[in-house]
Amino acid sequence: MKSRESVARLKRFQVEEKRRHVQQIEGMIAEFERMSADLAAQIKAEQERTGIHDTKHYAYSTFAKAAAQRRDNLEASIGELRIQLDVAAVALDGAEEELAKLEALAERDHGRDQAAAQHKGDRVA
């Protein structure tokens, strides 16, 4: 009985760790999306300022080119993080299922122990 409680405590810890990992990845995605949007706004402002929107133009802003490269890198990172998020979410779902099964077994055992104790008490009385 004690070992099952220890395993359940460990599983709860693992579920919380996986949940924190999912939240951390979601936070990183949100932050990268915000940064990407900021860069897009800066690029647009620079293009409006210079009047040159064609990235192939010889006088296209160096700042806009660099900001676009940073934005593209962020977008690539967001894509990679979404893949990691999918993997982490699947791992979290699996850990939650395992924990639910373990808790169901513990509840069944607890009910069986209570029934046995009551049955034993009925025989003594």
- Which range of residues forms the domain containing residue 48? 2-124
pLDDT at 8: 83
State the pLDDT confidence band at 81, using cuts at 50, 70 and 90: very high
Looking at the structure of the chain, the number of domains it has is: 1
Q: What is the pTM of this model?
A: 0.78
Find the helix packing angle between 2-50 and 62-124, rounded to 10°: 160
- What count of other Cβ atoms lies within 10 Å of the Cβ of residue 3? 7
Tell me what pLDDT residue 108 has.
79
H or E, element range at 97: helix 62-124
Q: Is the pLDDT of residue 72 over 80?
A: yes
Q: pLDDT tens across 12-47, in order?
A: 999 999 999 999 999 999 999 999 999 999 999 999
Q: Which of 57-61, 85-89, 104-108, 121-125 has the lowest mean pLDDT?
A: 121-125
For range 45-71, the mean pLDDT: 96
d(CA 100, CA 6): 15
Give the confidence band of 80 by pLDDT, cuts at 50, 70, 90. Answer: very high
48-77 CB burial, b ≥16 within 10 A, e <16: eeeeeeeeeeeebbeebeebbeebeebeee
